[in-house]
Structure 1
């Protein structure tokens, strides 16, 4: 499988990780088929999400929806510690109620923004208390451990949603302007032919400089990034019920067979199966959609 494959499948309903890394490392832009909570604890790391890049500080908390591409860049061999929790939509539904939609902090904000808050010491301690409870009960085979895990996860999500309701944190964004503008150009012209030469002409740069800087900050070639964005558009159109043939051409593909092959490789299922899955998922999506921002 290519190192630029950027759709990272999450199998369990709840996946909790608390890893330590002591070497330089950079991931490519990728996405999950699940929501993600990311708590930064220590290290020298830049976190990229869509067209933004944040230098991380202890206590930075991010929430990431399945549609948002993200990556981490570990800048040196300083010990890098973080907690990540991946949650399937169906799992969070089970924890939510008609009055309390625990997906609000993920879904009710503009795509690629409003993802990050910085926790004060007392907030960080509260969060670490509940993550510790999850960590202990998730690894236990004792009677009731699963109920304790779910209860702790619900408490954690309530806290996070409360904090994001009142989020006024303005993070430092250090994404280079050329990379940001390249991403914006791609989004604007995603249904059209996009070449490296066009991008170089648009930004008055030579093609090698554009390609090299983009790869440095995304971990992806321009071709792979454009393909990924077209697949994302195709998924939205399929969810809306558009025919697979129309989706192919409306999402920027000029060859039907290539569209089917690319979609299946990246998403893991064919466009037809994806459409059926999403339509079934939409039918059970009965939670209130009030935007609290």
Structure 2
């Protein structure tokens, strides 16, 4: 039986750091968390999956993952995989951006297109980044001696690491501009095949729509709230329900509208209660989906009572 893919939210401390190796390393499902994450691999052969992208890892590969991206890592049984892992709250970068007038989060958020999560480091660049990780590690180990001072040093070291990585990423992007597109854009080697992770999220989404049907329910807001890429949310929602997300929301609003009209609420009150742009917009949508106007629908239900 094929193992179903799943996703889970994982809680971490606001600052998480790991430097070492793991054997038989395989996450049981995709996960996401509140923190930005930087991983530097020191061993070949692991598999890194971020969204619908799959990367075959080489030693020296560095990954930047934001707090909205599902991801998982895995490796061959019996092999030890060495790496640095750093996770921290996005607020650290946003707060410091105002202080230094520098966009620290540029490769976590407003990424250029196309974008690869992976930056391969070697030689002096790899040594520089390893030293910066070790500087953060030293700060963490010294926290017991002077916590306040150590916290400041750790934050400054993280900013130094981010600034260096940004510089390397920018150099990489500039260098690749003149290359043919196919040499730069890494196509996904695997794509989700009807994963349980989306099915579970879609069930949660349907419940959310039902309990928030009176709100506007904008697709961008929904995808952000559920930490799902807009394209994949729409794709798998239709695959699972047979409706596009927009159609499903419209249907749920009409069901709610019918119930309110049966209770004797006016067309204006119903349009307002369900966050339609205007009475005319509500009337137009209602007629398109039911074949009659809301006023005639209400009258027909009233006459049946008599």
Mark yes or no: TM-score above 0.5: yes
Q: Is the 8 A contact 2:104 2:163 kept in 1?
A: yes
Q: Is the 8 A contact 1:43 1:79 kept in 2?
A: no
Task: Tell me what 1:142 maps to.
Answer: 145
Greater relative contact order: 1 or 2 (C-alpha under 8 angstroms, separation 6 or more)?
A: 1
TM norm structure 1: 0.60
1:163 is displaced (CA, Å) by 1.3
Q: Is the 8 A contact 2:52 2:188 kept in 1?
A: no
**Structure 1: stretches of 5+ with no match in the other structure:** 184-213, 215-220, 242-248, 257-293
1:222 is displaced (CA, Å) by 2.1
- Matches of 1:236 and 1:118 in 2, distance apart? 33
Please point out which of 198, 209, 227 is paired with 1:225: 198
Q: Is the 8 A contact 1:39 1:62 kept in 2?
A: yes
Runs (4+) of structure 1 exceeding 3 A deviation are 2-5, 110-113, 168-174, 226-231, 233-236, 238-241, 249-256
1:89 is displaced (CA, Å) by 1.4
Q: Is the 8 A contact 1:35 1:89 kept in 2?
A: yes
Root mean square deviation of aligned Cα: 3.6
- Matches of 1:174 and 1:99 in 2, distance apart? 35
Q: Does 2:163 match 1:158?
A: yes
Task: Tell me what 1:190 maps to.
Answer: none
1:166 is displaced (CA, Å) by 2.3
- Matches of 1:129 and 1:251 in 2, distance apart? 53
Q: Is the 8 A contact 1:63 1:115 kept in 2?
A: yes
Per-residue Cα deviation, 1:133-189 (whole angstroms, up to 9, x for no partner): 11111122223222221221111011011111222464765623xx3xxx5xxxxxx
1:240 is displaced (CA, Å) by 8.3
Task: Tell me what 2:83 maps to.
Answer: 82
Per-residue Cα deviation, 1:198-238 (whole angstroms, up to 9, x for no partner): xxxxxxxxxxxxxxxx3xxxxxx62322444785x989515
- Matches of 1:53 and 1:132 in 2, distance apart? 28
Q: How many residues align?
A: 207
Task: Tell me what 1:60 maps to.
Answer: 61
Q: Does 2:205 match 1:175?
A: no
- Matches of 1:128 and 1:163 in 2, distance apart? 14
Name the SS of the counterpart of 1:153 in structure 2.
helix
Task: Tell me what 1:288 maps to.
Answer: none
Larger Rg: 2
Task: Tell me what 2:135 maps to.
Answer: 133
Name the SS of the counterpart of 1:18 in structure 2.
strand
Per-residue Cα deviation, 1:222-281 (whole angstroms, up to 9, x for no partner): 2322444785x989515989xxxxxxx65968989xxxxxxxxxxxxxxxxxxxxxxxxx
Given the superposition, is the C-alpha separation of residues 154 and 251 from structure 1 closer, same or farther in structure 2, using an over 3 Å criterion? farther
Task: Tell me what 2:12 maps to.
Answer: 10
Per-residue Cα deviation, 1:41-76 (whole angstroms, up to 9, x for no partner): 114211111111111011111111111111112123
Q: Is the 8 A contact 1:116 1:171 kept in 2?
A: no
- Matches of 2:26 and 2:10 in 1, distance apart? 17
Per-residue Cα deviation, 1:115-145 (whole angstroms, up to 9, x for no partner): 1111121111101111111111112222322
TM norm structure 2: 0.58
- Matches of 2:107 and 2:114 in 1, distance apart? 12
Q: Is the 8 A contact 1:55 1:172 kept in 2?
A: no
Q: Is the 8 A contact 1:105 1:160 kept in 2?
A: no
1:26 is displaced (CA, Å) by 3.7
Task: Tell me what 2:124 maps to.
Answer: 122
